Each structure stands twice: as structure tokens, then as C-alpha cells.
């Protein structure tokens, strides 16, 4: 069986994740072998990325380097030739996919700080469960120090909406409060295509 091999030495985390994503999209049914250096942060982020994609992966140490064996994905289904179909009522127009939400401040607007914070928390309370994820960047990281905001963010995460914290916005890039790290290139790419809501 053919195996696609990626060598990801001397790359940033975002570059590595982009390369892996490209390889998986181009060859979804092939197993993938990823060769890495000793950087534990890169290894950890690759594991989490593959887990989110539902791809099984096994890590094998090779001296100071690592090898990641990624299971093959399902084979693409064979095209089905259309046959005669009975007339069906018109289906409702498909809804556009929900866009992620990135918060860059700890309140809405420039007026009263207390009112602006309450309004922003109201947005989080009313957030549609179909929103793919919520990101916190810049001053929005102050929400992690507000017990009410923290409870709302934890409730979102419990409902299946990931809450991500911008890596560039942190003084100490750890996983704050158990929330995932957001690689900033991810939301910047969406912003460049107009595919994210920024408050």
C-alpha cells in the first residue's frame, strides 16, 4: 500500500498544519507518514489537529525525532448514476454555514464599560449552537478573569462549541483555563475571506 510521507522539520506549527491539511485533502484515502523533529509543541498540536479531523494516528520515537503514522481515510464513494426520479416538492434553500465568532474586546462599544460587558455576555448567552467556534483575542482575554464570562464560555464548550484563545494575544502561551490555543493564522485567513464575525 502506498504511503504519503511528509517531512516537517524546521516549520512553524501553522505551516505544519497547513501542509498536513493539504495532503489529507489531496489524498483522503491514503495513509500518511509525518516525520518531525523533537519539538513537543509541534507534536502536540499535530496530534490535536488529527484528532479533530477524526484521523487515527500513532506516534513512534526515532532517536530525537518522531514519526507519526496517520490512518487512511475512507475511500471516496463511487459516483451514482442518476435514474428517473419522481417529482418532489421543492426543498428549502440550503442555509449558509455559520461563521466562527472572534471577540477582540471585553465589552461592546465605547460607552459604559459595565453596559458594554453585559451586552457582550448577552451575545455569548444567545450564541447559536451551530457556530463552529468562538475565539478570544486582544482585550477579550480579560473575559477569562470574569467569573460570569468564564462560566458562559465553559457552558459554550460543554454544548460543543470550542472556545479558542489567540496564541499571539497571550503573554504566556499556555492553554488558559483549559481552553484550546487558536493559531492566529487560522482566524486571519478567515478574516481575509470575510468568513468570520469579529466583535
pLDDT above 70: residue 75: no
Are 54 and 28 in contact by the 8 Å Cβ rule? The answer is no
Are 101 and 127 in contact by the 8 Å Cβ rule? The answer is yes
Q: Measuring CA to CA, how many Å separate 69 from each of 33, 63, 73, 84?
A: 5, 16, 12, 44
Q: What does pLDDT average to over the chain?
A: 83
End-to-end CA distance of the chain: 48
pLDDT above 60: residue 175: no
pLDDT above 80: residue 85: no
State how far the Cα of 13 lies from the Cα of 45, in Å rounded to an integer.
7
Percent of the chain with pLDDT over 90: 4
What residue numbers bound the domain in which 60 lies? Answer: 4-70
State how far the Cα of 110 lies from the Cα of 119, in Å rounded to an integer.
12
pLDDT above 70: residue 14: yes
- List the CATH number of the domain containing 15: 3.30.1370.110
pLDDT above 60: residue 174: no
Assess if residue 41 is contained within a domain: yes
Residues 6+ away with beta carbon under 8 Å from 75: 29
Split into its structural domains, the chain has a count of: 2
Assess if residue 112 is contained within a domain: yes
pLDDT above 80: residue 30: yes
Amino acid at each position: 500500500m502506498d504511503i504519503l510521507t511528509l517531512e516537517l522539520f524546521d516549520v512553524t506549527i501553522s505551516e505544519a498544519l497547513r501542509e498536513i491539511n493539504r495532503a489529507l485533502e489531496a489524498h483522503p484515502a491514503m495513509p500518511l507518514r509525518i516525520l518531525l523533529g523533537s519539538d513537543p509543541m509541534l507534536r502536540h498540536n499535530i496530534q490535536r489537529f488529527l484528532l479533530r479531523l477524526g484521523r487515527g494516528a500513532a506516534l513512534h520515537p526515532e532517536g530525537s525525532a518522531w514519526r507519526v503514522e496517520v490512518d487512511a481515510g475512507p475511500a471516496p464513494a463511487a459516483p451514482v448514476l442518476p435514474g428517473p426520479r419522481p417529482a418532489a416538492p421543492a426543498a428549502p434553500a440550503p442555509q449558509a454555514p455559520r461563521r466562527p465568532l472572534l471577540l477582540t474586546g471585553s465589552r461592546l462599544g465605547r460607552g459604559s464599560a459595565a453596559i458594554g460587558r453585559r451586552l457582550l455576555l448577552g451575545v455569548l448567552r444567545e450564541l447559536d449552537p451551530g457556530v463552529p467556534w468562538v475565539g478570544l483575542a486582544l482585550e477579550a482575554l480579560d473575559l477569562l478573569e470574569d467569573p460570569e464570562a468564564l462560566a458562559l464560555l465553559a457552558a459554550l464548550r460543554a454544548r460543543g462549541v470550542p472556545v479558542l484563545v489567540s496564541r499571539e494575544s497571550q503573554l504566556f502561551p499556555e492553554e488558559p483555563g483549559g481552553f484550546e490555543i487558536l493559531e492566529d493564522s487560522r482566524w486571519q485567513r478567515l478574516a481575509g475571506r470575510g468568513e468570520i464575525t469579529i466583535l
